Amino acid sequence: MRVGFPESEIISRMRTLSSMRTIVEAATSRPGREDVLAPSRTRVEHTPRLDGSPQMRAIRTVIENIADTDATVLIRGESGVGKDLVARALHAASARRAGPFVKVNCAAIPGELLESELFGHEKGAFTGAHRRKPGQFEYANSGTVYLDEIAELPLALQAKLLHVLQDFRFTRVGGNGAIEVDARVIAATNRDLEQAMARGEFREDLYYRLNVVEIHVPPLRERREEIPLLVATFLARFNAQYGRHKELAPETLARLMEHPWSGNVRELENAIRRMVVLTEGEQAFAASLARPRNGQAPAAAAPTPAVTEGLREIARRAARAAERQALVEVLDRVHWNRAEASRILKVSYKTLLNKIAECGLTPPSHR
């Protein structure tokens, strides 16, 4: 039997759990604070992909805490983990949401052109500059400029960026007049900036200027409970995009859950796209798992047991696991004061006791 992906049910379950997890993250990160969901805090509601795992909900909580500020943010994580998603969520939750969101990929622009791209140039500033051109910082005025792959910025340009971050004033290439902009800066990298600083490839003063708030996005292999939701999301998107009605077999879902995903969410997205557009896409994916990578044979793995459950049951298991973890964290935080835990989690005392029993939790003194 082949099983379709009930995306609406999964998203609904994940959103239900996210509210409890957000409260837990806020409570456990601020000892003694009572107003864990104060009205002044901006809620991030626009993307369910920030609800799929405890790690992403913790990131969502950070976004909610800093959305109403102009603090510079450094987003770190492997390639393909979703750093762009976090940057766009931060912009959408901020007071600058009506302004532009301007992304600059520092690795995709030649170094000799990057200064002009960021800060603009005047007519005649260099060969081929036939007219004045504003830079991306000017286009981002009243909004957010997102500097992706910031570690690829040349050292000379790092110095200029540092000065811009100090007072948000700069001059175009070939110009004299100072230009002022009002923009929030978000930077991202998949490189180890500490090692880059040790090698003299990245300025220490710029690092500290950018790293006011650091958000680390973990790899997909560390948040596998998100895979069913991501698969359902991508499957629905590509079915609509290509006019298909693709459904995936339980065996394919099991393989997707077990795959290491070195390319993270981007690799998963491309895998689902191939399964939708190719008639034998699932078989091709299964065959690719047996092929060597980088000249080395794949590591031997235990035989995969036959899978009879579909995405719905897997989503339920993921939801139960996330709920149990949330209960454990808040109960440990309040030293098993059940009345206090029920207040923090915003559930009745009876409901809390039922949940504790369902999850098989016991106080430390009874273990």
For residues 245 and 339, membership in a common domain is answered with yes
Task: State the residue range of the domain holding 90.
Answer: 72-125+133-211
Same domain, 342 and 244: yes
Going by pLDDT thresholds of 50, 70 and 90, the confidence category of residue 341 is: confident
346 and 239 assigned to the same domain: yes
- Per-residue pLDDT, 13: 41
* 259 contact partners, CB below 8 Å, separation of at least 6: 289
| pLDDT range class, residue 148, cuts 50, 70, 90 | very high
Name the more confident of 97 and 322.
97
Q: Please report whether residue 66 resides in a domain.
A: no
Cβ 263 vs Cβ 219: under 8 Å: no
Rounded-to-integer distance, Cα 347 and Cα 323, Å: 13
For residues 255 and 147, state if they share a domain: no
Whether pLDDT at 43 is above 80? no
Asked if residue 231 and residue 198 are part of one domain, the reply reads no
Q: Do residues 239 and 354 share a domain?
A: yes
Identify which of 143, 11, 164 has the alpha carbon closest to the alpha carbon of residue 88: 143
Query: Do 259 and 320 fall within a single domain?
Result: yes
What local confidence, expressed as pLDDT, does residue 316 receive? 63
Do 326 and 225 share a structural domain? yes
Indicate whether 252 pLDDT > 50: yes
Number of domains comprising the chain: 2
Q: Tell me if 265 is assigned to some domain.
A: yes
CATH number at residue 149: 3.40.50.300
DSSP codes, 9-31: HHHHHHHHHHHHHHHHHHHHHST
Together in a domain, 147 and 184: yes
d(CA 211, CA 213): 5
- Of 343 and 215, more confident: 215
65 inside domain: no
Tell me the C-alpha distance between 288 and 129, whole Å. Answer: 48
Q: Would you tell me how many other CB atoms lie within 10 Å of the CB of residue 310?
A: 20
**Element spanning 281, H or E:** helix 281-290
CA distances from 186 to 189, 230, 270 (A): 11, 25, 26
Does 191 share its domain with 156? yes
- Please choose, from the candidates 92, 189, 181, 87, the residue with its C-alpha nearest in 3D space to the C-alpha of residue 140: 181
Between 130-134, 156-160, 289-293, the lowest mean confidence (pLDDT) is in 289-293
Cβ-based neighbours of 156, under 8 Å, separated by 6 or more: none
pLDDT band at 39 (very low <50, low <70, confident <90, very high): very low
22 within some domain: yes
Average pLDDT over residues 43-64: 79
pLDDT higher at 297 or 82: 82
Query: Higher confidence at residue 188 or residue 356?
Result: 188
The pTM (predicted TM-score) of the whole model is: 0.69
Task: Verify that 350 and 248 share a domain, yes or no.
Answer: yes
Does the pLDDT at position 28 exceed 50? no
Q: Judge if 225 and 353 occupy the same domain.
A: yes
Asked whether residue 48 is assigned to any structural domain, the reply reads no
pLDDT digits (tens, 9 = 90+) for 233-248: 999 999 999 999 999 9
* Cα–Cα separations (whole angstroms), residue 82 to 57, 77, 170, 233, 319: 13, 8, 31, 14, 21
Say if 137 falls within a structural domain. yes
Task: Give a yes or no: residue 297 inside a domain.
Answer: no
Mean pLDDT for 188-198 is: 96
DSSP state of 225: G
Answer whether residue 172 is part of any domain. yes
Cα-Cα-Cα-Cα torsion 91, 97, 99, 100, nearest 10 degrees, comes to: 40
